[in-house]
Amino acid sequence: MTVTTPQGFRSAGIAVGLKSTGKPDLALVVNDGPAPASAVVFTTNRAQANPILWSRKVAQNGPVRAVILNSGGANCFTGDFGYETTKLTAEAVARELQDPTADHVLVCSTGLIGTGDQTFRDKIVNNVPQLTAALSSDDTTAPAAILTTDSVEKTEVHEGAGWTIGAMAKGAGMLAPGLATMLVVITTDALLDGDALDRALRVATGASFDRLDSDGCMSTNDQVTLLASGASGVTPDEAEFAAALAGVCDSLASQLQADAEGASHDIDIEVRGAASIEDGMEVGRSIARNNLFKAAIFGNDPNWGRVLAAIGTTEAAFDPYQVDVSFNGVRLCHAGAPDRPVEDCDLTPRRTHVMLDLFSGEHTVTIRTNDLTHDYVHENSAYSS
Amino acid sequence: MTVTTPQGFRSAGIAVGLKSTGKPDLALVVNDGPAPASAVVFTTNRAQANPILWSRKVAQNGPVRAVILNSGGANCFTGDFGYETTKLTAEAVARELQDPTADHVLVCSTGLIGTGDQTFRDKIVNNVPQLTAALSSDDTTAPAAILTTDSVEKTEVHEGAGWTIGAMAKGAGMLAPGLATMLVVITTDALLDGDALDRALRVATGASFDRLDSDGCMSTNDQVTLLASGASGVTPDEAEFAAALAGVCDSLASQLQADAEGASHDIDIEVRGAASIEDGMEVGRSIARNNLFKAAIFGNDPNWGRVLAAIGTTEAAFDPYQVDVSFNGVRLCHAGAPDRPVEDCDLTPRRTHVMLDLFSGEHTVTIRTNDLTHDYVHENSAYSS
């Protein structure tokens, strides 16, 4: 159980033929209340898929009743026909749920951009009755149905005092700030209003998904949805709920990092001594997006020179000749010069910790990324074929 | 002949053991006048190698008399010792040339960051007499001595009306705006002052090297030097000279692109209809730096969706749903929807042309890049070992 661990939710996942493998590819999460509330964050990419265009409107219409998600096609840049497909999908869900309007139904899609033809539409819309018929309050099938190139399901549960949070996520590439290429649905039976949910969600995603930068590529389809049913009748302390939600998002971000396409190292870049959070983010991302650094990690080479070359392109406050750089706890560069020999550092473990101290302030930011590998190139050069 | 094609120059290249292969790794270009003038542009990376720190001062001291260049070690982040090495190198050159001051001697280094120990110093400084003894006005050995992972020498010559330009370059990776990872020396026997050279050089590099973005990584050691001897006695029309210089730089940039590490496609991204040059640059670079796009090209996949996803992260003026995208002359996306089938497009040739029209203005900018290949990952994961 995941999104149905909290009371007041049903979900389902079925196969409708969008994936050539025949694996499940259509999921639905329904919020049965009794006090539905919701918050949603979307990709900041200006190139937005039809489900994003639709769901942005839905998010402004009050509590979301249901989220339908498909893998096997992004329905992005598919023109007016694609937008109509999204609308027809939401309408089909509303009809089956006997909700008077489709305006409370979010739609999420993931897969190849440009995919969204008549066949795609028919497979989704015509199978909504079968999907709603499969809804269950102890469902375990939804998390698999949203996966694309993911190798494992990503789920998380948090047990509060009389309330719970459940979550599922998909994402394995195109992971970058402003969110990753990911779809996330988080449910809770806590009794909270939309404003409280929105505050908690923005803080949580800002500290988790927005600091995950696997390959520097931002998606057109990202959507993170938080649904509250109120079914527990318990209103948690807002800070306590926010901390729990942040923990759930952090866990999911870590799972996304660990399953990133083709990666052989999960790299946490910890930037200490930053003058501001923004500076720490900029410095961390400049490293996370540097292909030479990423390829070096793949080769188990603690190439601190590439770290310094990367951060030198930023406008953050620091003196490049006063920075310390450590790999897996071994300080290799001190004050702009070699410190310990690189042979002292072992990069063979998958988990990799790069720490740099800018000596410019009190802020610390950790950016999660992955290495650049042959498998990454292979998976992303052969994806659409 | 290259940098010695113009009158008034001598050059040399020798092997001093910096490269483990035993290949030539130390070069010198001397401007014998009679009317020496010079202009230099440097990397904009804040992490700057010792040769850059030294050469920035030299560039302000009036005409450059000589440029000494080594491959096999960047002398970057090597502390005060490394800076002293650069200074001793310049002093050794000045001594051998019987120039009263080292302040007219530029130093360029390229290779691994963090490399610059006593052995590195000795191999360079102690061999300067041998290097100057090898100087010749019909030298052909210098271009090879500045190469690192390059597979071919990069040179260019332009014949004007009574004056000539000669040039040599090195660079095969870490190629990104604000210059590439490259060292370039350009010579001319035209009679021009430093201000005229500087104006022409900035225009030429802005339209060539600054639009080359092979892998998004900016170097710590880049330096482009233009030396004029005045030996022809001819002062060309400034616009004519500037055009010729731009042509030389454009040819070198194209040669750098063609020799980029591990690349299997040379990709010209032509952005039309941009509201400004800056917009066109930002849009072009966002594509050139998108690993998913670059991997797709490696797989001969004309993935126009990744082009749109990339440009959606920019702040340039355009409507993502009004953009056209063509690959090798075949329009695959029109007004935010699929146009011709991707099967109509053949990406097997090495030369790849991606054209997008933003329909937002009159400016056109072409950014040169390369694909992301297994060989790129291999070369850059094994480079320092």
Q: Any catalytic annotation for residue B141?
A: no
Nearest-neighbour CA in chain B from A79: distance (Å): 5
Structure tokens at B224: 């482009």
Q: What is the pLDDT of residue B177?
A: 44
Q: Which residues of A are catalytic?
A: 181
Structure tokens at B313: 């992260």
Length of chain B: 385
CB B156 within 8 A of CB B1: no
Look at B113 and A381 and tell me if their CB atoms are within 8 Å. no
CB A350 within 8 A of CB A268: no
Residue type, B32: D
Nearest to A354 by CA among A277, A276, A252, A266: A266
Nearest to A29 by CA among A166, A181, A205: A166
From chain B, the residues in CB contact with A305 under 8 A are 74, 76-77, 112-114, 220
Q: What are phi and psi of A281, to 5 degrees?
A: -65, -45
Active-site choice (B86, B149, B164, B181): B181
Annotated binding site of A for substrate: 148, 170, 181, 261, 380, 385
Q: What is the pLDDT of residue A181?
A: 63
Please give the residue that has the higher pLDDT: either B182 or A277. A277
The 10 Å CB-count burial string (b at 16+, else e) for B122-148 is ebbbebbeebbebbeeebeebbbbbbb
Q: Which residue of B has its CA nearest to A302?
A: B384
Given CB atoms, is B242 within the 8 Å cutoff of chain A? Answer: no
Q: Residues of B numbered 333-372 whose beta carbons fall under 8 angstroms of chain A's beta carbons: which are they?
A: 333, 335-338, 342, 372
Kindly state the greatest CA–CA separation across chain A: 68
Given CB atoms, is B292 within the 8 Å cutoff of chain A? Answer: yes
Q: How far apart are CA A63 and CA A86, in angstroms?
A: 19
Checking if the pLDDT of A32 tops 90, the result is yes
Q: Any known ligand binding at B181?
A: yes
For an interface test with A, the pick among B222, B313, B322 (most A C-beta atoms closer than 10 Å) comes out as: B313
From the number of C-beta atoms within 10 Å of its C-beta (0-12, 13-18, 19+), residue A100 rates as exposed
- Over residues A328-346, the mean pLDDT reads 93
For an interface test with A, the pick among B48, B77, B307, B348 (most A C-beta atoms closer than 10 Å) comes out as: B77
Query: Which tens digit of pLDDT belongs to each residue from A157-205?
Result: 999 999 999 999 988 655 554 444 688 899 999 999 999 999 999 999 9
CB within 8 Å of A177: residues ≥ 6 apart: A209, A210, A211, A212, A213, A218, A281, A285
Look at A216 and B291 and tell me if their CB atoms are within 8 Å. yes
CB within 8 Å of A145: residues ≥ 6 apart: A13, A14, A15, A23, A24, A25, A26, A27, A69, A71
The partner residue sitting opposite A309, judged by closest CB among B218, B295, B305, is: B218
Checking if the pLDDT of A347 tops 80, the result is yes
Query: Which tens digit of pLDDT belongs to each residue from A66-94?
Result: 999 999 999 988 989 999 999 999 999 99
From chain B, the residues in CB contact with A314 under 8 A are 46
Structure tokens at A280: 């720490």
Q: What is the pLDDT of residue B293?
A: 92
Look at B291 and A372 and tell me if their CB atoms are within 8 Å. yes
Residue B230 Ramachandran class (φ > 0 left, ψ -120 to 50 alpha, else beta): left
Q: What is the pLDDT of residue B62?
A: 84
Q: How far apart are CA B83 and CA B89, in angstroms?
A: 10
Residue type, A30: V
Look at A313 and B218 and tell me if their CB atoms are within 8 Å. yes
Cα separation of the two ends of chain B = 34
Structure tokens at B312: 């959606």
Nearest-neighbour CA in chain A from B105: distance (Å): 24
Look at B114 and A373 and tell me if their CB atoms are within 8 Å. no
CB within 8 Å of B148: residues ≥ 6 apart: B71, B72, B110, B111, B170, B172
User: What CATH number matches the domain at A9-258, 3.30.2350.10, 3.40.718.10, 3.40.50.2300, 3.60.70.12?
Assistant: 3.60.70.12
Q: Residues of A numbered 138-167 whose beta carbons fall under 8 angstroms of chain B's beta carbons: which are they?
A: none
For an interface test with A, the pick among B291, B308, B375 (most A C-beta atoms closer than 10 Å) comes out as: B291
The partner residue sitting opposite B174, judged by closest CB among A292, A298, A377, is: A292
Q: Locate tokens 């640059």: which residue?
A: B281
- Looking at residue B219, the DSSP 8-state letter turns out to be P
Q: Locate tokens 């935010």: which residue?
A: B336
Given CB atoms, is A384 within the 8 Å cutoff of chain B? Answer: yes
Q: Tell me the pLDDT of chain B (385 aa) as tens digits.
A: 699 999 999 999 999 999 999 999 999 999 999 999 999 998 888 888 999 999 999 999 889 999 999 999 999 889 899 999 999 999 999 999 998 899 999 999 988 888 889 999 999 999 999 999 999 999 999 999 999 888 899 999 999 999 999 999 988 655 554 444 688 899 999 999 999 999 999 999 988 888 888 777 777 888 899 999 999 999 999 999 999 999 999 999 999 888 888 899 999 999 999 999 999 999 999 999 888 899 999 999 999 988 998 898 899 999 988 999 999 999 999 988 899 999 999 999 999 999 999 999 999 999 999 999 998 888 878 754 3
CB A277 within 8 A of CB A365: yes
Look at A312 and B113 and tell me if their CB atoms are within 8 Å. no
The partner residue sitting opposite A377, judged by closest CB among B219, B374, B385, is: B374
Nearest-neighbour CA in chain B from A229: distance (Å): 34
Q: What is the pLDDT of residue A178?
A: 47
Structure tokens at A321: 């000749």
Look at B113 and A215 and tell me if their CB atoms are within 8 Å. no
Look at B299 and A381 and tell me if their CB atoms are within 8 Å. yes
Whether the bond between A320 and the residue before it is cis, its omega within 30 degrees of 0, is no
Look at A301 and B381 and tell me if their CB atoms are within 8 Å. yes
The 10 Å CB-count burial string (b at 16+, else e) for A114-133 is bbbeeebbebbbebbeebbe
Q: How far apart are CA A75 and CA B16, in angstroms?
A: 60
Look at A47 and B291 and tell me if their CB atoms are within 8 Å. no
Q: Number of Cβ pairs closer than 8 Å across A and B? A: 208
Question: Edge-to-edge strand order for the sheet containing B266-274?
Answer: B337-338, B330-334, B324-327, B351-357, B266-274, B363-370
Q: Residues of A numbered 107-126 whose beta carbons fall under 8 angstroms of chain B's beta carbons: which are they?
A: 112-114
Given CB atoms, is A173 within the 8 Å cutoff of chain B? Answer: yes
Q: How far is CA A252 from CA A71, A160, A256, A345, B328, in A?
A: 18, 18, 6, 29, 40
Q: What are phi and psi of B258, to 5 degrees?
A: -65, -20
Length of chain A: 385
Nearest to A103 by CA among A41, A164, A165, A54: A54
CB B206 within 8 A of CB B281: no
Q: Which residue of B has its CA nearest to A82?
A: B337
DSSP E strand stretches across chain B: 9-14, 26-31, 37-42, 66-71, 105-110, 154-159, 164-170, 183-188, 223-228, 266-274, 324-327, 330-334, 337-338, 351-357, 363-370
Q: What is the pLDDT of residue A46?
A: 82
Look at A217 and B178 and tell me if their CB atoms are within 8 Å. no
Nearest to B333 by CA among B352, B369, B309: B309
Checking if the pLDDT of A354 tops 90, the result is yes
Look at B45 and A338 and tell me if their CB atoms are within 8 Å. no
The partner residue sitting opposite A305, judged by closest CB among B82, B113, B321, is: B113
% of chain A at pLDDT higher than 70: 96
Q: Any known ligand binding at B261?
A: yes
Structure tokens at B172: 């095969």
Q: What is the CATH number of domain A266-381?
A: 3.10.20.340
Provide the 3-class DSSP secondary structure of residue B206.
helix
Query: Which tens digit of pLDDT belongs to each residue from A207-245?
Result: 888 888 877 777 788 889 999 999 999 999 999 999 999
Provide the 3-class DSSP secondary structure of residue B252.
helix
Q: Which residues pair with B168 in a beta bridge?
A: B155, B185
CB within 8 Å of B291: residues ≥ 6 apart: A215, A216, A217, A291, A372, A376, A380, B372
Look at A218 and B320 and tell me if their CB atoms are within 8 Å. no
From chain B, the residues in CB contact with A372 under 8 A are 291, 377, 380-381
SS (H, E, C) chain A: CCCCCCCCEEEEEECCCCCCCCCCCEEEEEECCCCCEEEEEECCCCCCCHHHHHHHHHHCCCCCCEEEEEECECCCCCHHHHHHHHHHHHHHHHHHCCCCCHHHEEEEEECCCCCCCHHHHHHHHCCHHHHHHCCECCCCCHHHHCCCCCCCCEEEEEECCCCEEEEEEECCCCCCCCCCCCEEEEEECCCCCHHHHHHHHHHHHHHCHHHECCCCCCCCCCEEEEEECCCCCCCCCHHHHHHHHHHHHHHHHHHHHHCCCCCCCEEEEEEEEECCHHHHHHHHHHHHCCHHHHHHHHCCCCCHHHHHHHHCCCCCCCCHHHCEEEECCEEEEECCEECCCHHHCCCCCCEEEEEEECCCCCEEEEEEEECCCHHHHHHHHCCCC
Given CB atoms, is A317 within the 8 Å cutoff of chain B? Answer: no
From chain A, the residues in CB contact with B313 under 8 A are 45-46, 178, 218
CB B311 within 8 A of CB A47: yes
Q: What is the pLDDT of residue B69?
A: 96
For an interface test with A, the pick among B380, B383, B384, B385 (most A C-beta atoms closer than 10 Å) comes out as: B380
The partner residue sitting opposite A296, judged by closest CB among B74, B296, B380, is: B380
Look at B295 and A173 and tell me if their CB atoms are within 8 Å. no
CB B333 within 8 A of CB B345: no
Q: Locate tokens 């949203």: which residue?
A: A146
For an interface test with B, the pick among A52, A75, A113 (most B C-beta atoms closer than 10 Å) comes out as: A113
Checking if the pLDDT of A263 tops 50, the result is yes
Q: How far apart are CA B357 and CA B320, in angstroms?
A: 10
Q: How far apart are CA A249 and CA A207, in angstroms?
A: 8
Q: Could you state, in order of their start, the residue ranges of all structural domains in chain A?
A: 9-258, 266-381
Q: Locate tokens 């950790």: which residue?
A: A366
